[in-house]
Amino acid sequence: MSSRFAAGSIPKLLLSLALPAIAAQIVNALYNVVDRMLIGRMPGGGTFALTGLGIAFPLIMTISAFAALIGLGGAPLASMKLGEGKPKEAEKLLGSCCLMLLLVSGVLTAVLLCFHRPLLIAFGASGTTLPYASDYMGIYLLGTVSVMMSLGLNSFISIQGFAKTAMATVCAGAVLNAILAPLFIFPMHMGVRGAALATVISQTASAIWVLSFLTSRRSHLRLRLRNLRVNPRMACRILALGLSPFIMQSTESLIQIVFNISLARYGGDLYVGAISILTSLMQLFSLPLSSFAQGAQPVIGYNYGSGDYARVKAAIRFCTAVCGVLGIVMWAVAVFFPRFPAMIFTDQAELIALTERLMPVFFLGTCIYGIQLALQQMFLALGQAKVSIFIAVLRKIILLIPLVFVLPEFISPKADAVIMAEPIADACAAVTCCILFAATVKRLLRNSGHASTADP
């Protein structure tokens, strides 16, 4: 593994790591996409069921965010330890993350099972959509441990260079979900409960796969019982670095809530259904960007840990260029061909027409969003937690949420003004991120004592 990361062509190496990661994340997105496609076509209430699932989405993203907090906080640190020639320290990080994931998932399961109905109401569920949202979450929450273990620990497979194995983890679960979901929803007449049950079974299969690999002799980093302990200092470092991806994902939940509440007020259930489709597409479109950058993290982290700054710079340049091009391609699809993506989720003419009209506005900032996502992941690979956290907070909390509430006061129709908040926030955050990255990385890679500059 060390010779592979330390030598050879940077473009070939990054592509070999990133392409499986992209495929895995796109397939992983099919969990939600497949569920929404099938639920949206349920006879006798498919549109309301789709809206209900959109309202439940923030809770689903919250669970994924906690998995990212621990998994994406520990994996880059383990990658740096491997670059420093300290595999035992990397294994301690793996063990700590595993135990932390188990503990947090247990707490989340208990809390959300007790309070998911009032939370769904607070998120904008109406009397019509609440039963669908509640039925889905009542079963989905039973698989919280599996979701967090599969998502959180899969990163430790990727940083070892086993990109195809990490991809197989996700693909196995997604394929199983694609088989079970239509079977449970239609022939067995389980509706949204069937979609949730298929997801729980599939994520459990993925979790078993991950644990089997990390405890096998194939893995360079072994999950050992003696390392299943939480060292407070190590836990603080994991959580500090994981806070940025946690904010990125948990604020997706917050953004969904804000959009749902505002659009329910100004546009009604049809607009809430449209934003459910738009945010699903944004998630799907963002995956190749963030996945490519995450695929580059092991190379950047390893070479930064070993002090090979020339390879670090080359990897950053190539990753940023690829993500920039991908962002432009996705922007073009959304702006010039909006009808086809809308038709994937629903066959209701009125909802398709509304989504088609709103999509070019919602995705207007995606043309430069790819660069921001790439640079934000590079901050993580270099151990710069504080700056990455600021960028995540800037786009979602500082810019987007206030704009959702402010723009309708000045622009009509008010529901359309809510949609306009997204591209404005994307553009402002991307420009700020580029400026900060240029200043920060120039300082880091000029400093020979790089280990002391990384945030804890």
d(CA 169, CA 377): 22
Q: What is the DSSP letter of 128?
A: T
- When pLDDT is cut at 50, 70 and 90, the band that residue 454 belongs to is very low
Q: What is the DSSP letter of 399?
A: I
Least confident of 28-32, 101-105, 185-189, 303-307: 28-32
d(CA 96, CA 227): 7
Q: What is the DSSP letter of 394?
A: I
The CB-side HSE value for 275 (13 A sphere, CA atoms) comes to: 34
**Helix 414-446 vs helix 309-336: crossing angle, to nearest 10:** 170
Q: Which residue has tokens 């607070």?
A: 122
The CB-side HSE value for 221 (13 A sphere, CA atoms) comes to: 34
Q: Which residue has tokens 């993203």?
A: 61
Q: Output 148 or 440, whichever has higher pLDDT.
A: 148
Most confident by average pLDDT, 3-12, 201-210, 248-257, 368-377: 201-210
- When pLDDT is cut at 50, 70 and 90, the band that residue 37 belongs to is confident
Share of the chain above pLDDT 90, in %: 28
Q: What is the pLDDT of residues 203-217, one digit of tens each?
A: 999 999 999 999 998
pLDDT at 421: 93
pLDDT at 3: 55
d(CA 116, CA 134): 7
Contact (Cβ atoms closer than 8 angstroms) between residue 176 and residue 201: yes
Kindly state the average pLDDT of the residues 84-90. Answer: 87
Q: Output 270 or 45, whichever has higher pLDDT.
A: 270
Contact (Cβ atoms closer than 8 angstroms) between residue 213 and residue 219: yes
- When pLDDT is cut at 50, 70 and 90, the band that residue 455 belongs to is very low
Q: What is the pLDDT of residues 286-303, one digit of tens each?
A: 877 877 887 787 788 788
pLDDT at 96: 94
Phi-psi region of 85 (alpha: psi -120 to 50; beta: other; left: phi over 0): left
Kindly state the average pLDDT of the residues 348-354. Answer: 88
CB atoms within 10 A of CB 434: 15
Give Cα separations from 422 to 117, 190, 372, 390, 428 (angstroms).
28, 36, 14, 18, 10
Instruction: Provide the token pair at 286.
Output: 């963002």
Least confident of 114-128, 224-238, 295-309, 397-411: 295-309
Residue 26 CA, distance from chain mean position: 11
Contact (Cβ atoms closer than 8 angstroms) between residue 200 and residue 150: no
Which three-class secondary structure state does DSSP give residue 382? coil
- When pLDDT is cut at 50, 70 and 90, the band that residue 140 belongs to is very high
Pick from 308, 425, 312, 318: nearest CA to 379:
312
Kindly state the average pLDDT of the residues 380-406. Answer: 84
Average pLDDT in the chain: 84
Q: Is the pLDDT of residue 371 over 90?
A: no
Q: Is the pLDDT of residue 448 over 60?
A: no
Which three-class secondary structure state does DSSP give residue 186? coil
d(CA 199, CA 34): 10
pLDDT at 28: 64
Contact (Cβ atoms closer than 8 angstroms) between residue 150 and residue 5: no
Kindly state the average pLDDT of the residues 346-361. Answer: 88
d(CA 412, CA 171): 44
Contact (Cβ atoms closer than 8 angstroms) between residue 255 and residue 401: yes
Q: Which residues contact 275 (CB under 8 A, 6 or more apart)?
A: 54, 256, 259, 260, 263, 419
d(CA 394, CA 12): 33
Kindly state the average pLDDT of the residues 249-267. Answer: 83
pLDDT at 451: 42
Q: Is the pLDDT of residue 11 over 50?
A: yes
Residue 193 CA, distance from chain mean position: 24
Long-range CB contacts (within 8 A, 24+) of 284-288: 284/26, 284/29, 284/33, 285/330, 285/333, 285/334, 285/363, 285/366, 286/369, 286/373, 287/22, 287/25, 287/26, 287/28, 287/29, 288/22, 288/25, 288/26, 288/326, 288/330
Contact (Cβ atoms closer than 8 angstroms) between residue 343 and residue 352: yes
Instruction: Provide the token pair at 113.
Output: 């099972």
Q: Output 272 or 6, whichever has higher pLDDT.
A: 272
Residue 388 CA, distance from chain mean position: 15
Contact (Cβ atoms closer than 8 angstroms) between residue 314 and residue 49: no
- Work out the angle at residue 314's Cα, subtended by the Cα atoms of residues 308 and 316, and round it to the nearest 5 degrees: 105
Q: What is the DSSP letter of 228?
A: -
Q: Is the pLDDT of residue 99 over 60?
A: yes
Q: Is the pLDDT of residue 442 over 80?
A: no
Q: Is the pLDDT of residue 120 over 50?
A: yes
- When pLDDT is cut at 50, 70 and 90, the band that residue 453 belongs to is very low
Give Cα separations from 262 to 28, 57, 123, 133, 357 (angstroms).
29, 16, 10, 18, 18
